[in-house]
Every structure is written in C-alpha cells, then in structure tokens.
C-alpha cells in the first residue's frame, strides 16, 4: 500500500500533500514479474515529487528472505497467525498461498538484485537524476533549497499497471489502471 506525505518547503511555498502510487512491476524476459517497490523522490527532470524505484541492497533482501524462512520471526508470523479469524478456512489456505508467494518473490528479488546495474529511476520519465529524502526527512531540491518530507500514513490508490525492465526502463504498452477488490466483489 502506498504512503502519503506532507511536504514542507523551506522557500515558503505552501505545504503539499503527496500520495504515492502502486501497481508497478518488473517484467523479465521469460514473462514473469515481481513487484517494483516505489518511494517518494524529487525528479530533477520532471521538477516535481514523483514515485521512484526503491532499490534495496542485496543484504536487505537476503535478510528479508531469511526472516520469511524463520517461523519465529515477525515477518513470517504475518502469514502464519492462528489468531481468529485466520484460524479458519478459507483464511488458512489463502495465507499459506500468500506466504509461499512472498518467499518466491523474495528469492526472485535476490536474483534480480544480483544483476541490477543501473541506479534508481523516476517512474514517470525514467531519469536517474533524482533526490531521495535523507535520514532527517529532508530532500535537497536543486534551485529551491530543501523540503521536509514527512510520511503521514498509508493511502489507497488505483493500480497503475505499469511494467519495467529489470533495469527500470518502462515497457511501453497500453494498460488501464485498476483497483483491487476482494474476490467476488469485482465491480
């Protein structure tokens, strides 16, 4: 689920609320896909806040998989809870399927990360000239000074259904935004 942010500019420009998007995927030559994890950044080419690739280190992804494989970890317990209502069918089967998918995706993400060479890109224009928030939540914006970017929660937005090569280059194809619904509740 994407995050929403409050952006405060040091130059006195009025504060802005910014809502992340979702529905970005890396697509491999064999047609398989993994989710692309976006994050907020400033794109020097677009001259605005945008969704950009968040590229974790190989060590972070490896640790994520190790946590998934450790039944005592918090990450694994998200899929293996026996607390009501997750102790009943169909939740048990659905959670087991999601658990296997999470492990498979982490394994595939490790394979992808081992061969990824290019730096993170703007998901709108593809530029690598982007600025991410520092640890103190500030972003240095060329020509404007800085802005403080504060995550204020999560938001629910349409899925873009945009696809990218493993190096982060957008694959041009006609797609329509969609919205996730519980099975049986499609509109």
Residues 38 and 82 in one domain: no
| Of the residues 66, 95, 115, the one at which a domain ends | 115
Residues 173 and 126 in one domain: yes
pLDDT in tens, 149-165: 999 999 888 788 899 99
Q: Given a cut of 70, is residue 35 above it in pLDDT?
A: yes
| Of the residues 70, 93, 115, the one at which a domain ends | 115
Residues 98 and 81 in one domain: yes
Residues 131 and 178 in one domain: yes
Q: Given a cut of 80, is residue 27 above it in pLDDT?
A: yes
Residues 88 and 172 in one domain: no
Residues 134 and 176 in one domain: yes
**Between the CA of residue 112 and those of 26, 58, 62, 74, 165, what are the distances in Å?**
9, 9, 12, 25, 11
Q: For position 183, what pLDDT does the model report?
A: 46
Residues 91 and 103 in one domain: yes
Mean pLDDT of 44-67: 96
Give the closest residue to 126 by CA, choosing from 46, 47, 27, 19: 46
Residues 142 and 51 in one domain: yes
pLDDT in tens, 83-141: 877 788 888 888 899 999 999 999 999 999 999 999 999 999 999 999 999 999 999 99
Structural domain of 71: 56-115
């Amino acid at each position: 689920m994407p995050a929403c942010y409050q952006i405060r500019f040091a130059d006195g420009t009025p504060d802005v609320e910014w809502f992340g998007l979702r529905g970005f995927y890396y697509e491999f030559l064999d047609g398989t896909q993994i989710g692309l994890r976006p994050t907020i950044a400033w794109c020097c080419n677009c001259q605005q806040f945008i969704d950009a690739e968040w590229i974790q280190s190989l060590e972070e992804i490896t640790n994520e998989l190790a946590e998934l494989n450790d039944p005592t970890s918090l990450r694994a317990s998200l899929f293996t809870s026996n607390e009501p209502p997750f102790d009943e069918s169909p939740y048990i089967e659905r959670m087991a399927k999601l658990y296997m998918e999470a492990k498979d995706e982490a394994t595939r993400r490790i394979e992808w990360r081992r061969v990824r060479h290019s730096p993170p890109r703007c998901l709108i224009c593809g530029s690598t000239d982007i600025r991410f928030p520092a640890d103190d939540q500030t972003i240095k914006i060329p020509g404007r000074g800085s802005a403080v970017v504060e995550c204020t929660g999560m938001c629910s937005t349409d899925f873009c259904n945009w696809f990218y090569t493993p190096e982060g280059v957008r694959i041009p194809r006609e797609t329509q935004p969609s919205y996730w619904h519980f099975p049986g509740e499609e509109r």
